[in-house]
Amino acid sequence: MELGLDVTERNGYAVLAVHGEVDVYTAPRFRERLIELVSEGKTRIVVDLEGVDFLDSTGLGVLVGGLKRLRSHDGDLSLVCTQSRILKVFEITGLTKVFAIHDSVDAAVAS
């Protein structure tokens, strides 16, 4: 199972585009990539979930951990997601109130 993690720069934000399935197997790579970005001094991060086919609570845990880490560095992490099946897990767990979730990368980097 492949997990794609591509980073681009937009408007001073690091945009991490995630592709594939995020579960207990792939989540550690996702977590490591976020930690690397913070270590590189990237404290404004947008995680683009539009290419994600599957995400469970292990993926949510990575995002919560990433947000906590960034806030401790006076940074922030926001999300791009329009897929109802992915948004649903954020809604059920109340995490729509924790993360800023945008419709597009353009909207996320403009905020």
Give Cα 11 to chain centroid, integer Å. Answer: 17
Give the Cα separation of 38 and 35 in Å (integer).
Answer: 5
- We find the least distance from the C-beta atom of residue 81 to another protein, in angstroms, to be 15
Chain contacts with another protein (rule: CB under 8 A):
1, 21, 23-25, 54, 56-58, 60-62, 64-65, 67-68, 71, 84-85, 88-89, 92-95, 97-98
- We find the least distance from the C-beta atom of residue 84 to another protein, in angstroms, to be 8
- We find the least distance from the C-beta atom of residue 61 to another protein, in angstroms, to be 4
Listed residue (73, 84, 48) closest to 63, CA to CA: 48
